[in-house]
Structure 1
């Protein structure tokens, strides 16, 4: 507490009582004083936190700061930041998207949305707001903590909906219209996995008898009575009928035909579909890259997330892509994994044969060397 009987003519001074949750400062005078707390940055700190790269906040006379344990924002900048989401994880399903979202959520400048998968660009698109990108952006922001992002514009939040990659005919034009309206960019993150293993994992997830009623509804029931080999052959045949076949490069696919005969027939309320298509990464990525440019993306192989060091390195790449400084992860364990017999069967062998030329096209598209091949 301040001295109850101070000297009537004291020299103005600063007294600080700081015990974590309580902070009180007085200078025993009637004039403003500058209160400075000096600290130092340890030499072991990342280069981004040391001079001359350390972050700065420059104040003008009369500026007020809004400071939390995670952020520092100027009060006058409230509401000036872009609305959430600030980055997208667009796919692929069963390639580590849940884990990446959880890793990024450990960053002090990232806060979670009300949903991890908003499905705003596909299942939850507001048809009545078609042609009004500003209103669509406002609706999308409702999946996030709007008050926090208004008060603290330096905070970030992401949407992790892996079905976006699968549906470029829906997601790409919708996202592009909103970004052009807001004159902003959107960092995009794509996780990719050996497509044969991805398909097996997808099938095991959808046919898993465990789970909540809501999870089972989202997975769908269409595959419960079918074996994996039958589903693989059925989807390969459906793709061929729509003009997607071995020997046909992604750039040569007739998209109008593919869209009308395959994409537009996909269900929009469950995940029991497109078993083989989801692993044709080059085909799905081309419309995205053509629309937003290669620099909008960072690509992560699921196989590079198998060690703590690998996880940290890949998350650091994603964090920098979002525009934040790297942060050491507290937990590098994978999320949303399940146990099943991983012995390769005939269906996986068939998938591996089918995907081989499509994988080669992906390696060319992304500039991947042999060390990244499946």
Structure 2
């Protein structure tokens, strides 16, 4: 292949395109030849080093992948993707200090890329790294004084440091900035006499069922004020929950007690994390909304989400096969409720066992405080679905000018044999859900 490429007299861009094409076709040795020959032509071609690093990573050759990425970073030090990939490999090697160092570098290059920040928040960081993040966001706040997201991130870092008063203050600044940005009339009229408010609703998930779309549609109502973060993950994060109600309420805008405005959040992980008792005990009048979607389609969407964000490198077949082995070990499908690590290798299939998750919420919440929305209904006829949602929330109906689709992605259709296999797995659980909801879902 190397000789053949030389005879074709490719230029550097053609070689890169050829290599990327071969990589996509899983012809990795031929792709490697193309990228190596590109480096013969231009030893300073960072893209070729990056692609070679990607190939080695996909083959599990982590040491070699790092060497290629380091070469690429020497040439292109402000490449956030490279820095992030290096951090991911260091984390896989359990070289956590190096991983954190590179996640921080990736953030400094791309301050509003959420992926490295999320990884850092789930890691144990040394004090100097946390201090570095504080300084970074404080400086960013000075250069972006009207940007509320900077104060949200700063509040999250303060929380991780255990500096809760500073965290609450930072969140409160963020709520003011966000509300003023999107609703300046409200701030001018109400903010001075408003007080910290409790959420009136939560969207509990699950992920990849259009929770983002529903949350944004709700926030279009003139009497709804958004939380500073769509996903607070207060009830399903032990450390956050330990900070108490005031920490949580600081994420929501101030509301005058006598006014009809409401606020809420949407953390898709709530539904699978056995937090219904916590939610109801802290906010006994809160209303919860869950969405359901054909579980086969949800599994595929979940998989491609993880691939896009670098969390998944297996094929869909490999990921599903591994999870089906977990299911075979169950003595009772209710064992799905005992799973604790939904960030691991279980979730594509098991999150689609909606009946068991919904049943445990319905055993705690009164019927009038719990609403289940069909994803398909929301996407096909949003006006009708939102009328139902607003009625549930005690609000007058409000019809938006448009209902855009959020975070919709296109990808290859599912293999028919895998689809049929998954449909068989889900069928008995879907039937239980139909009995619970007293309706036909037609998901076969």
Q: TM-score range by the shorter chain?
A: 0.5 to 0.7
Which SS does the other structure have where 1:158 is aligned? strand
Measured in 1, the distance between the counterparts of 2:428 and 2:262 equals 39
Measured in 2, the distance between the counterparts of 1:286 and 1:70 equals 39
Say whether the 8 Å CA contact 2:319–2:345 is kept in structure 1.
no
2:237 matches 1:123 = yes
Say whether the 8 Å CA contact 1:78–1:153 is kept in structure 2.
no
Say whether the 8 Å CA contact 2:226–2:252 is kept in structure 1.
yes
Cα displacement string for residues 105-124 of structure 1 (whole angstroms, at most 9, x for unaligned residues): 11000111110011111136
- Shift, 1:240, TM fit: 3.5
Partner of residue 339, structure 2: 263
- Shift, 1:275, TM fit: 1.3
TM-score of the superposed pair, with normalisation by structure 1:
0.63
Say whether the 8 Å CA contact 1:228–1:347 is kept in structure 2.
no
Among candidates 144, 148, 153, match of residue 252 of structure 2: 144
Compare the two structures and name the one with the higher helix fraction: 2
Structure 2 unaligned regions, length at least 5: 1-183
Cα displacement string for residues 264-288 of structure 1 (whole angstroms, at most 9, x for unaligned residues): 3x15xx4764111110000111110
Measured in 2, the distance between the counterparts of 1:294 and 1:314 equals 18
**Does the C-alpha gap of structure 1 residues 340 and 271 become closer, same or farther in structure 2, counting only changes over 3 Å?**
farther
- Shift, 1:150, TM fit: 3.9
Among candidates 356, 377, 381, match of residue 304 of structure 1: 377
Measured in 2, the distance between the counterparts of 1:126 and 1:205 equals 25
**Does the C-alpha gap of structure 1 residues 362 and 120 become closer, same or farther in structure 2, counting only changes over 3 Å?**
same
Measured in 2, the distance between the counterparts of 1:355 and 1:143 equals 37
**Does the C-alpha gap of structure 1 residues 150 and 272 become closer, same or farther in structure 2, counting only changes over 3 Å?**
farther
CA RMSD of aligned residues (A): 2.9
- Shift, 1:338, TM fit: 0.8
5 Å-filtered alignment, 1:200-239, equals 200-208=300-308, 216=309, 221=311, 223-224=312-313, 226-239=314-327
Q: How many residues align?
A: 260
Among candidates 358, 363, 374, match of residue 429 of structure 2: 358
Which SS does the other structure have where 2:271 is aligned? helix
Which SS does the other structure have where 1:278 is aligned? helix
- Shift, 1:227, TM fit: 1.7
**Does the C-alpha gap of structure 1 residues 69 and 78 become closer, same or farther in structure 2, counting only changes over 3 Å?**
closer
Larger-Rg structure: 1
Cα displacement string for residues 300-322 of structure 1 (whole angstroms, at most 9, x for unaligned residues): 11111333xx1011011111111
Among candidates 174, 179, 198, match of residue 298 of structure 2: 198
Which SS does the other structure have where 2:402 is aligned? coil
Q: Structure with the greater relative contact order (CA < 8 A, sep ≥ 6): 1 or 2?
A: 1
5 Å-filtered alignment, 1:261-340, equals 262-264=338-340, 266-267=341-342, 270=343, 273-307=346-380, 310-340=381-411
- Shift, 1:151, TM fit: 6.5
Which SS does the other structure have where 2:199 is aligned? coil
Measured in 2, the distance between the counterparts of 1:238 and 1:178 equals 34
2:216 matches 1:102 = yes
Say whether the 8 Å CA contact 2:190–2:256 is kept in structure 1.
no
2:234 matches 1:167 = no
Which SS does the other structure have where 2:363 is aligned? helix
Partner of residue 37, structure 1: none
Say whether the 8 Å CA contact 2:219–2:225 is kept in structure 1.
yes
Cα displacement string for residues 333-370 of structure 1 (whole angstroms, at most 9, x for unaligned residues): 211111112254322221111101110000001111x3
- Shift, 1:125, TM fit: 4.6
